[in-house]
Structure 1
Amino acid sequence: MLKFRILKTYFLEILLLVAIAIIATVVMVSWFLNSHFERSTTHMVNQLNQEFLAENHRINEYLQKMVKISGMELFFEPSVQKLMYQKDLPNFDVVTSIRRLDAVMSTNIHTHSIYVYNAANDYIYATSNVDSDTVAKFKDAGVTELFSGSADHLRLAPIPRYADSPLGTIPVYSFVFYDIQKTEPRIGGALVMNITLDWLREIFKDVVGSQSQVMFVDEAGTIAYHTDSSQFLKNIAEDATFRQMVASNSPSGYFPYGAGKEKSFVFYSKSAENPLYLMRIYPYDTIMGGIVSMRITTLLLVLACITVAMILAVLISRRLYKPIHQMVSRVHAGDKEALYKEGELRFLSSSIDRMLTQAETFEETTESYRTLLQTDVLREILMGKIGDPDLMLAQFKEYKLPFSLEAPLQLIGLKPLDERALERLGLGFLDVHMEVPFEGERMLVVTQNCNAQQLQDLYDRSIASGVELVIFNRRIEHPFQLANHASLILEELRFSFMYDTGIKVEEKELKRSLNAGVYPSELEKNLLHLLHQGRAIEAYDVYTGFFGEIAKYSFTHFRFSMKRLYISLQLLVKEMQETGCFIDSQELSIGKFELSLESLVHRSDLDDFFRQWFDRFEEELQRCKAQKNRAIAEQIKQVVEEEYANPNLCLQFLADKVHLSVSYVSKVFKDCEGVSVSDYCLGIRMGKAAEMLEESDIPVKDIASAIGFSNENYFYAVFRKQRGFTPNEFRKRARL
């Protein structure tokens, strides 16, 4: 009887509770999905639209940077410079330059064509897929508008336009490169790179048959990109959708437009850095078409869940009956029956222990996830992405950041410090702290209420763990100020190579400006001039001043300036190669040089790199100079061999023969041969006279005349001085 009552009571209660819980959950989920489907779907698409805009902005910046770098490198190539500015060009140079343009175009599948404009010849040279011609007859007539007047507003900026080609007009973005100092009153020469819009199609997966339409529209209503190419550069300023989007005065959002079958959703986004709106237009049915099928699916799900819940409730209730009956029996039974049932109770106890263990593991996982969220939120604050004070306070409370808003904070920057080094460091001795890693092995530690001894312990442990630079800010009054201090410390950590290992620096001692500085062009010009003269030591002194000037500003400016100097040195090497220097030069690529700057550990490594390069310049110039002087000396010796019989043979005569000054010829010959030109000429003449005296019976008077002496007595005196005998005595002795 007792067994029946327990079974009946517990079975019905468990069955009812499980069924009610499942039904209530399913009904609530169904209601939520039905009521919030449109809002959540449009919000998701709008968020995707913003992400697409951000991704496009990054890729657009990358494309512009890539085009600018490759375009600038191509612009400064000597062959392209000739094609751009030289008046009379040999056909061979033209063909070589166009092949170079073709090679650059082939490296990027989205490059439609490349033009080089030569104002001196009134001619436009183009890649092989477009016919080169005069400006008046050039097929792509629209490009000529980029070359007239002051074009500063077009320089290095993408210009949407139609390009004429043999296949018709093609929408492109054009990038124009030209020398700033040659723009007035007319551009003397320019390089134009035309990029197709296919790269945007790849980003948005904007293919034929897509359910949405994608477009970029500027603030004036001109379409810079559209799924339908025929809409390119069309103005929709008077279109109702455009007016409604502009009137919303919001950087992103969506709104329904139209009615009936023509009803659609318009999503738009606009970044602060880019004046273009990104618009996506979806048919209403594409967004909301699944709501009916979802309702049916929800109904079927409810029915299925109820059925499964009923079955599970029966099984669970019958499974739970045994331990329940065991407890009831133990209360009402004797000791023997209790001992008989001891095994099942032990099983129930161990099951409860396993449940508790699983609960602890879940709590640990939840705590780890919460810590990651806290780190991400703190990183956003340090990077200045959460600038609203109210939002920042809300984030502190929502994610329970372990800092009091009433007490000052402390900020410590460490580099290099990876996760393994962080484990060795051990920050458990700090009462309240959070560490936030950044790229480049940089770490920021935010702490609170640390005394001087704790900060000193942190420094000592950091150095022992391999940290090379530690930067302290001992007092930050409010979290609002974290971003400004963090930006200064993070930027200084990128210059860790300028400090000795194990240095401790206070943030208030930092003097670096985060603004972009002015490139020291005069120092670069002076340095290149000294290198061209082979003055390596003086060039290195100028480099030291150059380094100190660019290191006053942000690392981005430092990296750009060093890269530009490196490119200038490479151009100087190429210029000197035309004179026979640097024949076997093996240059480090620009990309690898830039990576070496990012991973630089000690400044001495960079200084040694440039010092060795400057020494190489000096060595190459000395070698080329010695080689050139040797060639001049050999040329002079050849002239002497040919003209020794000429009475007019003298230093001036030889200088005129090699088209050089008398003093230069005298110095070069003396340095190379160790004797003066006159002594060498005299030696050659005396040698020829001795040969004739030994091998022939020619009178001495005729021999003197044959070697360029017009005075026989003078010849006698010189020969005796050189050989120790008179010519006749020399002849007699030679024939003994």
Structure 2
Amino acid sequence: MKITKKLGSKKYLARIYLWFASLILLVTAILSSVVYYNVQEKVFDNEYKNSRKLLAQTKYNIEYLDNMVRNLILSTYNNNDVRALMYLNDDEKFDYMNVINKLKSSVVWSNSFVQSVYIYNNNKKNYYSTYGQFIHKDVEWEKLLQAHGGSIPPLKPIVRNMDVSLDASHVQMEKVLTYVMYELTDEQGRMDGAVILNIKLEWLFNNIKAINNVEMEQLSKMFILSDDQQFMEVNEALSEEGTKLAALLQEKYPTLRAAENYFTIKLDGNKYLAAYITVDHTGWILFKTVPYDEAYVYLNKLRTSIIIITVIVLLATLLVLYQVSRGIYRPVEQLVAQLRSSHFLGEETAASKDEFIFLQDVYKNSAAQLGQFHQEKISGQQRMKNRFLSKWILNSLSVSIADFEASCLEHKLPFRQEHNFMICVLKFDNYKHVTEKSFEEKELLVFAVMNIASEFLSQACYTEAVDLRNDHVAVILQSETSLDHLEALILQLLKECQTYLFQCYNLSITSSLSASVGDHTYATTAYQQALNVSMYRFIAGKMSVLTQGYIKQLGQIPSMDRVLELENQLLEQVRNGNYRGSADKLAALLDEVKKLEYSDMMLSLLHAVNQFKYLVYDLNKSRKEPVKVNTILMSKEMLQIETIGEFQTKWMEVIEEITSDTEVERDRISEDVVIALRIQEMIDERYADLNLGASEIATVIGISPAKVGKIFKAHKQMSIPDYMNRVRLERAVEWMENSQLNIQDIMRKVGFENESYFYKVFKAKFGTTPREFMAKRIKERM
């Protein structure tokens, strides 16, 4: 009984010893069975590393060539003479021979890897070539284009045959690597102007063999698998053995897992070790095959030595295992004994016989008590802090200096009475969608906005965010220096914060900033000012940054007589069924309304909508089917529309129904207007996106790029690239006037990638270079 009781009180000592013993025995059994395979893998891994090194060098060479070719074709594509030749019309004259000769000297003769350059003119359906005749016809290229539906992915290397025959009687084909660059396609899906660059594939192979000549074994072979499943052998023309190996590689590769770095194949009774690597941007895969060598004798000797050493170590380990187990268990034994003698754990816990279950119960009990205490403490402090900040912002006159200083000290707020304050309001755009989320999701979004905004703005000043349980969050700002001097930096940080929230959380935020106040009792005044400024989101649009200065820039307030005159003209155009005239008059009316103060603006729009409602009622008396007026324009929900652009879209839907002659025409016009407005809104929001273009917009909207450009130009009287450049240049000027960023940073922030092109379009619009523009603004400020 004593022995049983003693063993029961120390059962984990026995378990530790048995666990270690079982582990050692298991390791020994596994080691004896897998040692051969481990050593074999080590040998093969060394061989793989050698192959991988060669493949990595080859990959670098190919990627370096790919990068050079991309830069070369992009620079050629952006050449003004090339673009002029690319879009030359039938009735235009152009010295294309001079352009081709320039390309020969600057591209073909200057780069030994370039075989030829084609300039494709879709208007004339001609290829202007540096190879052969100036107007060249490449039959193999046309076959390839036809197989791909008239266009090939831009900047994608394609291996193809090229006819380089000197005469028709001796046909000679050459393997070339072809790159193509274009931006738009026509209605038939063909490239609307392109640059085609043909690279000598033989030059690439010679380059690889020349650089890796020392490491290329005689028996090893290297293959390239292109993205169209075409195999090429680097060392020589695809031999009979190479053809068979290529077929085995093509069969084996798709079955591999992502973690496998190499594999084996068998050909005619001989094993081969194959390694591979992918080449970025090209879609190619490089393979290297090496025959197995006679390494099994060495592997068997090494395996025997490892097994003997493992057995010796196992026996020695079992001898000392018992003492080690006792040493590990001793602190646990002492701790359990000490805790069992405590009286604060409770009878149920203290009576536990299992040592580790007992310790686990003790830990859970203690951790739960500490966690509950800590959570209650933090939650109470946070509620008190938020309550004080809300009271201060909403009714700052009720907070005395003594209360202010005491609360700042209690809640560890960084604010001081003697420094100026600013209030920033962050208002949720599309707030209706936010309210549709669950309470937990909404709380998470508010928490994210508060923390991220504080993180960004803390780079310029002290900050503290307040959740006011509404459609906005307030941020209190204070700095030891003048906040007026920091306003440009704060505005810049707010724009960066908006961009980050949109990219990471798909959350659109409009920011408004008050003027600085010199006393904590004016915090409510500053908050009301920032809140009033935020109302002008209706004009500026979503994701805008608003200040009192923006309101002043809106210009002279028009007379109400002018607004009423435009309102009457709009109603008259609608009554006469003139769609275009109605659209123009509505745009003119809204342009005048934008200049009013916000309250007058809303009253003017409500009055116009009310008059429009009476007009619709009057028109419905003479119509067979009444017009279904958009309910948003006829109810209080109109006040929930966040931008004047959305308001204009809703109004135009009703005007289109009234003025259209047929159902089909009405649907077509309405659809085109909505598409044009969607394109404009997408450009206004994503102007900084380098990937934004006609193709991207067409993908989002779901129509062809050609139709996107046609609809936008018909309704906006300018092309998509011209409108994008206008928006980007306007944003660039805002950054120049309100930040300390240099020209390169501003250029990238607004979506320009090429500096010379940025300078060109900037000077074309403003008559001066960006550098001269910034220098002039700095001089005006001084």
TM-score (norm 1): 0.37
If you compute each CA radius of gyration, which structure gives the higher value, 1 or 2? Answer: 1
TM-score (norm 2): 0.35
